[in-house]
């Protein structure tokens, strides 16, 4: 099963949307295997958004992502990285399709509510930045067999 990193950004917490966002992940059949609330520091922001640090918009992104508490999550499921990216929609809320998180809850390019890893390597890197191995749990539930058939499990 694949794992992906998800962050409910400060706008999601500020707007009291965390419950609804979490419900969307659970409704899709993803299993939450790590979750915590924290405040992103400048150092953490630079690690997370390593690829964007030199970009002109980075100062605004840093200011935004450190502006209030966030909720960090690790979700597990078949093809979890791609599934979550699809649920997020396009980066700019104005261009995200209705039905996606960004397309249903916003119209901003920067304040787009949720981060999701853009590939399996990014997922591994980001999970390691935000979580220690002890903070992640492995468990099975009776519902697991209803998420997908045995021959679909390889992510």
Binding footprint of Mg ion on the chain (CB under 5 A)? 118
Q: For residues 47 and 52, which CB has a smaller minimum distance to ligand IDP in the complex?
A: 52
Q: Helix or strand or coil: residue 66?
A: coil
User: H or E stretch including 5?
Assistant: strand 2-8
Burial class (CB in 10 A: 0-12, 13-18, 19+), 118: middle
Q: For residues 31 and 48, which CB has a smaller minimum distance to ligand IDP in the complex?
A: 48
Q: For residues 22 and 87, which CB has a smaller minimum distance to ligand IDP in the complex?
A: 87
Which residues touch 131 (CB under 8 Å, ≥6 apart)?
34, 36, 72, 74
Marked catalytic residue, from 76, 115, 123, 127: 115
How many CB atoms are closer than 10 A to CB 47?
A: 16
Instruction: From the list Mg ion, ligand IDP, none, pick the one residue 109 interacts with, judged by a Cβ distance below 5 to 8 Å according to partner type.
Output: ligand IDP
Residues 114-133: x/- map of binding to ligand IDP (CB under 6 A)?
A: -x--x---------------
117's tokens: 């890893």
Q: Which of residues 75-94 bind ligand IDP (CB under 6 A)?
A: 91
Q: How far is the CB of 59 from ligand IDP (least distance, A)?
A: 9
Q: Note whether 42 binds ligand IDP by CB under 6 A.
A: no
Q: Closest Cα partner for 73 from 41, 43, 115, 122?
A: 115
Q: For residues 31 and 115, which CB has a smaller minimum distance to ligand IDP in the complex?
A: 115
Cα(137)–Cα(117) distance, rounded to whole angstroms? 19
Mark whether 52 is an active-site residue.
no
The binding site for ligand IDP (CB under 6 A) comprises 52, 57, 60-61, 91, 109-110, 112, 115, 118
Catalytic sites, residue numbers: 115
């Amino acid at each position: 099963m694949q794992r992906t990193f998800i962050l409910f950004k400060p706008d999601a917490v500020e707007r009291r949307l965390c419950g609804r966002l979490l419900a969307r992940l659970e409704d899709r059949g993803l299993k939450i295997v790590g979750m915590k609330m924290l405040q992103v520091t400048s150092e953490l922001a630079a690690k997370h958004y390593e690829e964007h640090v030199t970009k002109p918009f980075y100062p605004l992104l840093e200011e935004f992502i450190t502006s209030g508490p966030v909720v960090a999550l690790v979700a597990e499921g078949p093809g979890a990285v791609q599934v979550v990216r699809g649920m997020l929609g396009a980066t700019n809320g104005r261009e995200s399709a209705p039905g996606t998180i960004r397309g249903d809850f916003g119209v901003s390019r920067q304040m787009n509510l949720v981060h999701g890893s853009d590939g399996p390597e990014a997922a591994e890197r980001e999970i390691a930045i935000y979580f220690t191995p002890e903070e992640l749990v492995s468990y099975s539930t009776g519902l697991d067999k209803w998420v997908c058939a045995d021959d679909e499990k390889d992510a």
